[in-house]
Amino acid sequence: MKQRTRRPRKERVLITGIGGNLGRAVARRLHRRFEVVGIDRRAVRHMPKDVDIEQVDIRRRRVEDVFRRQRLDAVVHLNIMHDPRSRQDEHHQFNIVGTQKIFELCAEHRVPKVVVLSSADVYGPDPRNDQFLKEDAALMGGQKFEAIRDLIALDMFCNTFFWRHPEIETVILRPVHIVGRVNNAPSRYLRLERPPTIMGFDPMVQLIHVEDVVSAIEKALTPGIRGVFNLAGPSPVPLSFILERLGREPRPMPEPLLKMMLSTAWSLKISDWPVPELDHIKYVCMVDDGLARNQLGFAPSHDLESILHELRPGHRP
């Protein structure tokens, strides 16, 4: 009688924040290679049937049960709040306290790999920036923008965890502006028919397609990979070039007038654009992604034209 050959166990990956656009994209890609477990405080829909979903807040004690029940080989931490309308204390509780809890559980349950999605926004747009910022550049993005301070604190905590727990392969990814089938500030701005611009300023801009970010996350799960990596897509181009290719009709305005209009719109809750966001259409914040290309083996597959195609009318996240 022939013995039945046992199939090797698939590695099991936990995705936090699986209910978001990016979380769903990561799950759809990873479930082909891994057993995927997802947690989110939101209801999660449109997910492959073999993905195990747990509706739980990462700050609650119930998340410990997920780690206890599942033998995890990696955690992909995407459950980070980016809502400028949320109170600062709520941002802190969710982003900092929630992330600390996830990482503590990774250490307690000896999860060998953790991948966390930060952002190149932690560097901050500034006229004094180097042309291309490397991973060791100062994180200055929170000087004017309070919402970015928590992201910087999160990024720095993950860096500290990297050194305190060398037994865990910690990967921190800092992508430039993510566009495509996502609902974030850069995508919303570039979808405006008549986007405001600041007179006298035309910064160079870097974009990356959401599916290329997913590819970088998949690469980061490779055994032996650890560290901080900037992620960028095609070569940077002026903001005016992007708007022209999209067929937009920009509205150039003096900066004081645009700030006043945006501040009023924010106060009346008819706009979700905080005034400090204007620095992103004023100053440069470009990153050097050489480390990701050389050590992570990352190469974006979407050129500028394919990225812009999804920002034109008829394409929505």
Whose tokens are 């570039």? That residue is: 190
Q: Supply the pLDDT for residue 61.
A: 87
Measured over the CA atoms of residue 163, residue 165, residue 166 and residue 170, the dihedral's sign is negative
In whole angstroms, give the CA distance from residue 270 to residue 8: 54
Please give the backbone phi and psi of residue 133, each rounded to the nearest 5 degrees, phi first.
-85, 135
According to DSSP, the β-strands at 52-55 and 227-231 are unpaired
Q: Supply the pLDDT for residue 14.
A: 97
Query: Left (φ > 0), alpha (ψ -120 to 50) or beta: where does 136 sit?
Result: alpha
Query: What pTM value is reported for the model?
Result: 0.94
Q: Supply the pLDDT for residue 301.
A: 96
Residue 83 burial (CB < 10 Å; 0-12/13-18/19+)?
Answer: exposed
Q: Is 295 in a helix, a strand, or coil?
A: helix
Q: Which of 224, 114, 218 is nearest to 161 (CA)?
A: 114
Give the single-character DSSP code of 31.
T
Q: Is 27 in a helix, a strand, or coil?
A: helix
**Inter-residue contact 252 to 199 (CB < 8 Å):** yes
Single-letter amino acid code for the residue at 243: L
> Which residues partner with 170 through β-bridges?
114
CATH T-level assignment (fold) for domain 12-182+207-233+285-301: Rossmann fold (3.40.50)
Q: Supply the pLDDT for residue 79.
A: 87
Q: Where are the domains of the chain?
A: 12-182+207-233+285-301
Please give the backbone phi and psi of residue 83, each rounded to the nearest 5 degrees, phi first.
-95, 110
Q: How far is CA 221 from CA 68, 154, 296, in A?
A: 21, 20, 10
Q: What angle do CA 153, 211, 145 make, to 5 degrees?
A: 30
Residues with Cβ within 8 Å of 279's Cβ and at least 6 positions away in sequence, in order, are 124, 125, 126, 144, 145
Please give the backbone phi and psi of residue 175, each rounded to the nearest 5 degrees, phi first.
-75, 150
- E strands along the chain, which residues? 12-16, 35-40, 52-55, 74-77, 113-117, 169-175, 177-179, 196-198, 204-205, 207-209, 227-231, 237-238, 251-253
Q: Is 206 in a helix, a strand, or coil?
A: coil
Q: What is the pLDDT along the chain (317 residues), one digit of tens a residue?
A: 455 555 677 899 999 999 999 999 999 999 999 999 999 998 888 898 999 999 999 988 899 999 999 899 999 999 887 777 777 777 777 888 899 999 999 999 999 999 999 999 999 999 888 889 999 999 998 777 777 888 899 999 999 999 999 999 999 999 999 998 888 889 999 999 999 999 999 999 999 999 999 999 999 999 999 999 999 999 999 999 999 999 999 999 999 999 999 999 989 988 888 888 899 999 999 999 999 999 999 999 999 999 999 888 766 55
Count of all residues that appear for the chain in the document:
317
